[in-house]
Amino acid sequence: MSEVVLRALAHDGEVRAGDDLAELVAAALARAELTARDGDVLVVTSKVVSKSEGRVVAFGGTDDDKRRLIEGEAVRVLRRRGTLLITETRHGFVNANAGVDLSNTHEGTAVLLPDDPDRSARGLRASLRHRLGVSLAVVITDTFGRAWRNGVTDVAIGVAGLRPILDLRGTTDANGRLLEATEIAVADEVAGAAHLVLHKAAGTPFALLRGLDASFLGEGSIAQSVVRAPQGDLFR
Amino acid sequence: MSEVVLRALAHDGEVRAGDDLAELVAAALARAELTARDGDVLVVTSKVVSKSEGRVVAFGGTDDDKRRLIEGEAVRVLRRRGTLLITETRHGFVNANAGVDLSNTHEGTAVLLPDDPDRSARGLRASLRHRLGVSLAVVITDTFGRAWRNGVTDVAIGVAGLRPILDLRGTTDANGRLLEATEIAVADEVAGAAHLVLHKAAGTPFALLRGLDASFLGEGSIAQSVVRAPQGDLFR
């Protein structure tokens, strides 16, 4: 029987520029009396990744200041409604306000998305392997809105050790017909699943997911596999 | 510590029009030696719901026949690329080919989405309560593509006993600032999470999710809460 377990991991206190996230994860695991195993997935919110990487900037608090920050992160504004901008970021993400985060930040500051979330994930995966002696996949998440559906979900903005798309194209169903809709966005489903245990408390920046099918593990990149190129996009 | 557990539940054999899904779920739980508890969430793929409701139609196998079926289910075609249509269905869902499913179906047939998935979920929830004596939430899922990101994920197309959107608007962060991005699409995150254990085998149409925060439980409807009205949609 296929079984997946998700556990939220708490971290008390601020994350600051230069903090070693692997050390914080190790401490959080120890407090939870959990031992990470090969094949577990460590899910981490982008905010603590950004903070540890010093992606914190001054924010004056005005709408003009907010717009200036957003336009610094965006390469394109797709839609505009009041102060809400739907943007395409330098990374290729389409999200609200270019991921500039004004909540749960210190007064007078805003948090930007990591510069290269896939690279951040690879770095954290290597540090976790070094510190814990196990091979974990890493998924860095952020909260995005969607077209056509209300509400936001967490999606993966960076991965390491996980294939973000499970490609079943060319495989057939039980009746021999080619399967449709067969590139499954596993990393985004992991991110959304982790949000179910993470989103209530700002004090749980990490989650550990255990039981993911081993076929999902491997090399991958959100930027290369999940971000849809503008020229192939029917909605840009 | 917040912990969520997902288990896939197998069902051998076909689901046919008139089959009692609650009976199939009860049998699947028994085989897995699981006892459902109040507050568990039963996730079920739309395909078996549709089959049990007789939403199976003849399909001649031609592109013309496929287009005819799709146009019967769609109220609008948003985009067209080759034989792929991005449609708005009668339910208000924006998806590929109006949810007409040609894989894992009997030769010469196609499966349509349930007529009213929220109603289907309410019916299954009542049957499960009657049969098992516990109060389960029900989430009916289907596999949708997304704008801007490659790959498909499972989303919720019908719910009962679960609030599909967790509305945190008006609440403040640790520093007293109003939280942004605070309507969380919990039902879609549950659907995507279940896909992590369901998607490999066509023989696992059900999943049981345990450990969801009790604040997520309550009355709700995908059609009323998650489907974004066309006039409020920036991408239609």
Q: What is the pLDDT along chain A (236 residues), one digit of tens a residue?
A: 589 999 999 998 889 999 999 999 999 999 999 999 999 999 999 999 999 999 999 999 898 999 999 999 999 999 998 878 999 999 999 999 999 998 767 779 999 999 999 999 999 999 999 999 999 999 999 999 999 999 999 999 999 999 999 987 766 665 566 566 589 999 999 999 999 998 665 688 999 999 999 999 999 999 999 999 888 888 88
- B93 → chain A, closest CA residue: A148
Are B156 and A231 in contact, with CB atoms under 8 Å apart? no
C-alpha B70/C-alpha A213 separation (Å) is: 34
The torsion angle over the Cα atoms of residues B152, B156, B162 and B164, rounded to 10 degrees, is: 80
| Cβ <8 Å between A226 and B145 | no
Measured CA to CA, the distance from residue B233 to residue B236 in angstroms comes to 6
Structural element, H or E, at residue B70: helix B63-73
CATH code for the structural domain at B5-53+115-232: 3.30.1330.100
Residue A179: what pLDDT? Answer: 60
In chain B, at which residue ranges do the beta strands (DSSP E only) sit?
Answer: 3-9, 41-45, 56-58, 74-81, 84-89, 94-96, 109-111, 137-145, 152-160, 166-167, 183-184, 206-210
Q: Which of B96, B101, B184 lies closest to A152 in CB terms?
A: B184
Q: Give which of B189, B198, B228 to mutate to test A binding, by max A Cβ within 10 Å.
A: B189
| For B236, nearest residue in chain A (alpha carbons) | A148
Q: Which of A15, A94, A149 to mutate to test the interface with B (most CBs of B within 10 A)?
A: A149
Q: Is pLDDT above 60 for B1?
A: no
Condensed to tens digits (0 to 9), the pLDDT of residues B209-230 reads 999 999 999 999 999 999 998 8
pLDDT confidence of residue A111: 96
User: What integer pLDDT is reported at residue B2 of this predicted model?
Assistant: 85
Nearest CA in chain B to A171: B103
Q: CB-based contact (8 Å) between B235 and chain A?
A: yes
| pTM metric for this prediction | 0.95
Name chain A contacts of B197, Cβ cutoff 8 Å.
2-4, 211
Nearest CA in chain A to B110: A177
Q: How far is CA B3 from CA A35, A42, A64, B173, B209, in A?
A: 15, 14, 42, 23, 11
pLDDT surpasses 80 at B61: yes
Q: Are B185 and A153 in contact (CB under 8 A)?
A: yes
pLDDT band at B199 (very low <50, low <70, confident <90, very high): low
Q: Given this model, what pLDDT does residue B232 score?
A: 80
Q: The tokens of A31 are what? A: 């407090």
The domain locations on chain A are 5-54+114-230, 56-113
Asked if B120 and B48 touch (Cβ cutoff 8 Å), the reply is no
Q: Chain A, 171-210: which have a CB under 8 Å from a chain B CB?
A: 173-175, 177-186, 188-190, 192-193, 195-202, 204
Check if A5-54+114-230 and A56-113 are the same fold. no
Higher pLDDT, B171 or A22: A22
The per-residue pLDDT for A236 is 82
pLDDT for A109: 94
- Looking at the partner chain, which of A93, A174, A225 has a beta carbon nearest the beta carbon of B150? A225
Give me the pLDDT at residue B168, please.
79
- Residue from the list B1, B9, B188 with its beta carbon closest to the beta carbon of A153: B188
Which pLDDT value is given to residue A172? 66
3-class secondary-structure state, position B58: strand
Q: Which residues pair with A5 in a beta bridge?
A: A210, B5
Instruction: Please give, one letter per residue, the 3-state secondary structure of A38-105.
Output: CCCEEEEEHHHHHHHCCCEEECCCCHHHHHHHHHHHEEEEEEEECCEEEEEECCCCEEEHHHCECCCC
**Which CATH code fits A5-54+114-230?**
3.30.1330.100
* Domain at B56-113: CATH architecture: Alpha-Beta Complex (3.90)
Report the sign of the C-alpha dihedral through residues B130, B133, B135, B137, in that order: negative
CA dist B188 → A69, B89, B103, B108, B155 (Å): 31, 18, 23, 31, 5
pLDDT attached to residue A99 = 95
